[in-house]
Amino acid sequence: MAKNQRKQQQKALKKRRKDKVRRRRSSPPTIARVPVGGSSEISYLMIPYEELFPATAENHGIRVVNVDGVPEGEYLLVDYHCSNPACDCQDVYLDITEQANGRSVAKINFDLTGKAAPYLDKTHPHSSYAEKLFDAFQFTLANPEYIALLRSHYREVKAIAANPTSEQQQVLVRFQE
Under the banding of pLDDT at 50, 70 and 90, the label for residue 153 is very high
CB 108 within 8 A of CB 122: no
pLDDT of residue 42: 44
For 49-97, what is each residue's pLDDT tens digit?
A: 888 888 777 777 778 877 888 888 888 888 999 888 888 889 999 999 9
What percent of the chain is modeled with pLDDT above 90? 29
Question: Which residue, among 136, 106, 139, 132, has the nearest Cα to 120 in the 3D structure?
Answer: 106
Q: How far apart are CA 157 and CA 53, in angstroms?
A: 9
Q: What b/e string do you get for 159-171 counting C-beta neighbours within 10 Å, with b at 16 or more?
A: ebbeeeeeebeeb
**Secondary structure of residue 132 in the 3-state scheme:** helix
pLDDT tops 80 at residue 142: yes
